Amino acid sequence: VIVELMKSFMPVFVDSVSNSFYPVPEAAIGVGSAFEGWSPREWDGVYRVLVPLNPPPGHTFHLELNSIAARTFSVRVELVCTCQREQLGEKLMCFLHHSRKELRQKHQRSLLKTLCTGSYLDVEKTSHWFYQLLRSSWLHVHQSSSWDLVFQPSSRSCQFQLSKGGRSLMVELLFGVRQGDSDIFVVSQPTETQKGGSSTSVSSQPTKANFLQSTAWPETYAVAEAKFFRHIARQVPCESLHLKCLQLFTCTLRGTAFSSSIWKTVVMHMLTTVPLSRWQRTEFARRLWGVMAYLGRCLQVKRLEHFVLGNDRLPAEIRLPPAMQRAEPPNLFEHLARDPAAHREAMYTYGQLRYR
């Protein structure tokens, strides 16, 4: 339902911004456990969809790193000359070379004047604009005749509820900027796993959306991870066995010291180290014990490597920025190496889990 809805929205979005200097939406991408084919028990029931934004004509986006630990960026907006495109017949005003009077007469305002704070794309202004775009587009999609849509308040994304009869779906539209031509994005709001303490967040204390400045865009690896799960589904003998392993751990071991994102990271690493031919139904018990053993080894050496950053085992179809390919994989268990008491507690919890 969500995928078909977003396919219906996209032509309307693009048509709505075609004669303006607002960001241009790309095809939406489903992210998070619901679109990966599994959901932990603590899943909040929200289907998250990422809408990449491209700069409008006469503008470029440049990403500037704000914090290495929290992996947040600013999106600097710059004007570029469009005089040559105008000479080729495109009806474009050049914000660099046309006079202010001409621009006012043509009612042309650059992105810097609408959705930016200073020279940087503002998340909250962009969210408000996207909300208006979504609202005006709703009546032009065919699903509007069969679903009721109710918007929910949100300053950094667009949240709405779809309902029909007794059925109800919660959707959150995030918007983001792609890093080059890679599968890594900066997004308006931390994604599902980042909110819960994540394999997708380098810091052991994930950034909360409430504390982010309006020009701060968190980095997310959710698109790369979703792409990885689709890649694996095409390779394994039993399409869903790895997902059932992951769901079993995240649902039955809820409330332990190990978050769903830790289990997810372990399972993803195992999928690149254990031959995919061994992920068969008859191997289910072995794969479960394998996940436990892998986590145990990581706890012993106090090291669990980030799955995306610096991982040379990623499938070739997952595109990373060059700097990310060369990066040293961050240690998600670094806090255990620093804090002996925390490490002892984690090892004790692990022993209890093995017993259970």
CATH code, 324: 1.10.1410.40
One domain for residues 207 and 340: no
CA distances from 285 to 139, 242, 289, 292, 355 (A): 51, 12, 6, 11, 15
**Cα–Cα distance, 243 to 235 (Å, whole number):** 13
- How sure is the predictor about 159, in pLDDT bands with cuts at 50, 70 and 90? very high
Mean pLDDT of 67-80: 88
Centre a 10 Å sphere on the Cβ of residue 356 and count the other Cβ atoms it contains. Answer: 8
Residue written as tokens 């589904």?
Answer: 233
44, exposed or middle or buried, with CB in 10 Å at 0-12, 13-18, 19+?
A: middle
Asked if residue 179 is part of any domain, the answer here is: yes
Q: Which of 64-73, 174-183, 213-222 has the lowest mean pLDDT?
A: 64-73
Q: Which of 213-227, 255-269, 283-297 has the lowest mean pLDDT?
A: 255-269
One domain for residues 92 and 148: yes
**Cα–Cα distance, 258 to 238 (Å, whole number):** 26
Asked if residue 229 is part of any domain, the answer here is: no
- How sure is the predictor about 203, in pLDDT bands with cuts at 50, 70 and 90? very low
Residues 6+ apart with CB under 8 A from 269: 294, 305, 307
One domain for residues 207 and 283: no
Dihedral sign, Cα of residue 271, residue 330, residue 200, residue 340: positive
Would you report the helix, strand and coil content of the chain in percent, each value rounded to 5? 40, 20, 40
pLDDT, residue 200, reads 38
**Statement: residue 204 has pLDDT above 50:** no
One domain for residues 188 and 147: yes
Mean pLDDT of 241-257: 85
Asked if residue 226 is part of any domain, the answer here is: no
Alpha helices in the chain (DSSP H): 2-17, 33-36, 83-87, 100-105, 111-114, 123-137, 192-195, 222-233, 241-252, 260-271, 284-301, 322-326, 334-338, 340-355
**Statement: residue 207 has pLDDT above 50:** no
pLDDT, residue 202, reads 32
Mean pLDDT of 207-213: 63
One domain for residues 45 and 169: yes
CB-CB contact of 266 with 295 (8 Å) = yes
3-class SS of residue 137: helix
**Statement: residue 201 has pLDDT above 90:** no
**Statement: residue 192 has pLDDT above 90:** no
**Statement: residue 107 has pLDDT above 60:** no
CB-CB contact of 90 with 105 (8 Å) = no
**Statement: residue 258 has pLDDT above 70:** yes
**Looking at residue 44, which CATH number applies to its domain?**
3.30.460.90
- How sure is the predictor about 88, in pLDDT bands with cuts at 50, 70 and 90? very low
Mean pLDDT of 61-75: 89
One domain for residues 131 and 245: no
One domain for residues 7 and 139: yes
Domain's final residue, options 187, 221, 255: 221
pLDDT in tens, 161-187: 999 988 999 999 999 999 999 999 999
- DSSP-assigned letter for residue 193: H
One domain for residues 144 and 171: yes
State the residue range of the domain holding 336.
235-354
Dig out the tokens for 180 from the structure: 């080059």
Q: Give 40 or 93, the one with higher predicted confidence.
A: 40
One domain for residues 244 and 329: yes
**Cα–Cα distance, 156 to 188 (Å, whole number):** 6
One domain for residues 207 and 349: no
Count of domains observed in the chain: 2
User: Which DSSP string corresponds to 291-350?
Assistant: HHHHHHHHHHHT--B-SSTT-TTS-TTS---HHHHHSPPPBTTHHHHH-HHHHHHHHHHH
pLDDT, residue 144, reads 87
